[in-house]
Amino acid sequence: MPSKAQFGKWAVVKSINSGGQADVYEVIDSEELLSDDEQRLLLENAFQTLARQAQAADDNRSLAIGDLRAVIHNEVARMSSPSCALKLIKRADTQAARRFAAEVQFLQEQHHHSLIPLLDSNVEEKWFVTRRFDSSLSDVLPEYKQRGLVILQAMHPIVEAVSRLHSRGIIHRDIKPDNIFRASSGELVLGDFGIAMDLEEAEEEARLTRSSERVGSRDWMPPWAAFGRLEDVTKTFDTYTLGKVIWAMVTGNNRVPHRYGAYGDFDIVEAHGTPEEVLWLERIVKATVVERSSDGVPDGTALLRLVNEALAALTRGYQDVKVQHRRCLVCGHGRYEELVDLNATHQRNFGLEVVGQPKFKILVCSHCAHTQLFYFRDAVVPPGWS
């Protein structure tokens, strides 16, 4: 429990988490007074819970005052308006104070429905209050395993929020499942701006903190950032970590390697086959989780474009034209079989006066005979086939 039970109008209900930098508490707004009836009900509930606990407890053991307080606190939390989260910085040094002020400023200035909202703050006392969430993405990763469309729909607003940050010159630097919260509605929200960085202020930052700047989690940050050089903090940093989060969602595993490649269970296609959903996700992971910054996706906006393309394809019944035995688009029952190969010598022009040296690939449904014709101008394979 913190040194005091009240911060501004916020009453502490219980501790949520305690890290190296900060303690996080569940709090409620004590100004939201309850009516007499509500208070009576609340006390009755609290005492019923206590009675049950006392019965269950060992006869020789009496309930401590602390237990009593905790039960009543929890009842208050449950009865009153939704509880919130208060983050209190523990460290007293100037660097921690400066970082804290920066975090509050980021939260104050950046508004997006997928960025954690700031509800209250006190820079002097080093605390701020945000909406509280029951789980983080790391608690629920297995729920997303192999569900490409669900993953893209869930991550789209987060990528959009990062794209917005990037257009304002801000790098989050600490995107990982622990720092993405999930509301009961299923919506994801990005939090923990503790080491976010404004590129314009980065030069000054470098002078101030070169020696002891806190860095992100090594499990998630890109390999090129391992040396802690300021010039390696680019927008690709965030697209890399976003790609890794998407990868972790596909595999359902909270730890994924530093670079996409043939890694058995971590290889998306090898582990999950080639359904369209998986192919589109692999495309995004391959593009983002790379070894060198210059090979990555340059910024949030470019990544958003990739996500939008994948979403459009998946929601409009995209079929990978290279995959053999695709299901028929007309009858939904048969499979397409090749009738004329692009390289076959007997391919015809169907009486058309076509320019160059056209070639056709013809596929026919085994059930309803629906025919698909693909035209290769000058025998060049269209981009959709590669």
Ligand X SMILES: Nc1ncnc2c1ncn2[C@@H]1O[C@H](COP(=O)(O)OP(=O)(O)O)[C@@H](O)[C@H]1O
Q: Which residues bind ligand X (CB under 6 A)?
A: 16-17, 19, 21-22, 24, 85, 87, 130-133, 136, 178-179, 181, 191-192, 194
Whole-angstrom distance, CA of residue 163 vs CA of residue 239: 9
Sign, Cα dihedral of 270, 273, 279, 284: negative
Among 192, 238, 277, 299, binds Mg ion (CB under 5 A): 192
Question: Which residue has its beta carbon closest to Mg ion?
Answer: 192
Whole-angstrom distance, CA of residue 119 vs CA of residue 294: 38
Q: Which of ligand X, Mg ion, Zn ion, none lies near 205, with the C-beta cut-off 5 to 8 A by kind?
A: none
| Of 6-14, 191-199, 213-221, 293-301: span binding Mg ion (CB under 5 A) | 191-199
Q: Does 21 bind Mg ion (CB under 5 A)?
A: no
| Of 13-21, 86-94, 140-148, 362-370: span binding Zn ion (CB under 5 A) | 362-370
Q: Which of Mg ion, ligand X, Zn ion, none lies near 21, with the C-beta cut-off 5 to 8 A by kind?
A: ligand X
Closer residue to Mg ion, CB minimum distance, 179 or 251? 179
Q: Does 241 bind Mg ion (CB under 5 A)?
A: no
Residue in this structure with the two tokens 């026919």, named with its chain if needed: 364
Helix (H, G, I), strand (E, B) or coil at 83: coil
Give the count of residues interacting with Zn ion (CB under 5 A). Answer: 8
Reference 83, options 146, 38, 139, 16; nearest CA is: 16
Residue 137: CB atoms within 10 Å: 26
Among 67, 271, 370, 374, binds Zn ion (CB under 5 A): 370
Range 319-358, binding Zn ion (CB under 5 A): 328, 330-331, 334
Q: Does 290 bind Zn ion (CB under 5 A)?
A: no
Closer residue to ligand X, CB minimum distance, 100 or 266? 100
With residue 35 as reference, give the H or E element that holds it. Answer: none
Note whether 304 and 160 are within 8 A (CB): yes
Shortest approach of Mg ion to residue 192 CB, angstroms?
A: 4
Q: Does 191 bind Zn ion (CB under 5 A)?
A: no
Shortest approach of ligand X to residue 182 CB, angstroms?
A: 10
Q: What is the side-by-side order of every strand in the sheet holding 6-7?
A: 6-7, 10-18, 22-29, 84-89, 127-131, 118-122
Closer residue to Zn ion, CB minimum distance, 303 or 365? 365
Among 114, 179, 234, 251, binds Mg ion (CB under 5 A): 179
Note whether 296 and 311 are within 8 A (CB): no
Whole-angstrom distance, CA of residue 226 vs CA of residue 213: 13
Characterise 146 by phi-psi region: left (phi > 0), alpha (psi -120 to 50), beta (else).
left
Residue 236: CB atoms within 10 Å: 25
Q: Which of Zn ion, ligand X, Mg ion, none lies near 191, with the C-beta cut-off 5 to 8 A by kind?
A: ligand X
Give residues in contact with Zn ion (CB under 5 A): 328, 330-331, 334, 365, 367-368, 370
